Amino acid sequence: ISRRVAGASSAPASGYGTDRLADDVREVMQSLNLQRPILVGHSFGGAERSSIGSRQAAKVSGLIYLDGGYSYAFAPPGFKPDPPPGPEVDIPPVMRAIVTGVQQYTHIPVPALAIFAVPRRLPLKVSDADRKQSAEMDKLTMIQADAFEKGVPTARVVRMPNAGHFVHLTNTADVLREIDAFVKGLKS
């Protein structure tokens, strides 16, 4: 599914909040008569998975987060969102709506697979500053992965080393193996 403003989808002036985007997914599920599908989302798509999983758990069999289980998808206890970027920062409406932290998902009762790319793969030639920044990001990712694992008891959390943010492209075989095991576990 291509969300609003992506690909050949429409680009309305409003309607980019996470719950609205998740409702778009639900409308597609209904129009295709999909009964309890497993939903897969990458990056910010994790927020939409959490919206559906927390508000309409009976409508899905499972949720898969591909490097998308960050604070916009699961807010651990005590989480304080960063202040939203000001209007002078030019970011797409979907990202602006998600990163403003309007929704905070704290209860996801649906079986989930959350794959985190950590520690991230670095290019062969990288500056010391970029290496340091990547190490800091890895530290924050580990904290979020631990919080997701602790706070979502229905989740299997995988920390996939030497992967990129597009983990399904950088580590395709590993991701497919994890998804296959997750799906088989749902059938039992």
- Quote the longest CA-to-CA distance of the chain: 52
Both structure tokens of 57: 């758990």
Q: What is the pLDDT of residue 96?
A: 62
pLDDT one-digit tens code per residue, 132-169: 999 999 999 999 999 999 999 999 999 999 999 999 99
Q: What is the pLDDT of residue 103?
A: 66
Q: What is the pLDDT of residue 188?
A: 55
Contact 152, 111 (CB under 8 A): no
Which residues, including other chains, have CB under 8 Å from residue 158's CB and lie 6 or more apart? 113, 114, 115, 116, 178
Give 137: exposed, middle or buried? Use CB within 10 Å, 0-12, 13-18, 19+: middle
pLDDT one-digit tens code per residue, 64-95: 999 999 988 998 877 766 655 566 666 666 66
Contact 60, 36 (CB under 8 A): yes
